[in-house]
Amino acid sequence: MLCKYALVDTHKVPAPTGHVGTIRAFAGYWSVDAKEETAMNGQWREGPGLELFQSLQKQLGDVPILAEDLGVITKDVVQLRCVHPAA
């Protein structure tokens, strides 16, 4: 599998570049109802995945997107970060 991501010095990222935070949440995220007193009572939900990135590319063109690699990196996260939206 060819991954099109890299470690970058964020001070040298060209503009315009979209920063989406952590890529973890685009594959799946921990959801907790606002009424809960603790995050222990949450559940995993599926994120928007590749479809969101494909939509962004359709609307904005080939704009570089910077996403941090934080959280639990599971197979679905690896697959998402390794697929270029144009592919």
Written as tens digits, the pLDDT of the chain (87 aa) is 344 554 455 556 555 555 566 778 888 888 999 999 999 999 999 988 888 878 877 888 877 776 777 777 888 888 877 665 433
In the 8-state DSSP scheme, what is residue 29? E
Strand residues in the chain grouped as ranges (E): 18-22, 28-31, 43-46, 65-68
Domain boundaries, the chain: 1-33+47-87
- Put simply, whether the predicted model's pTM sits higher than 0.85 gets the answer no
Residues in the chain: 87
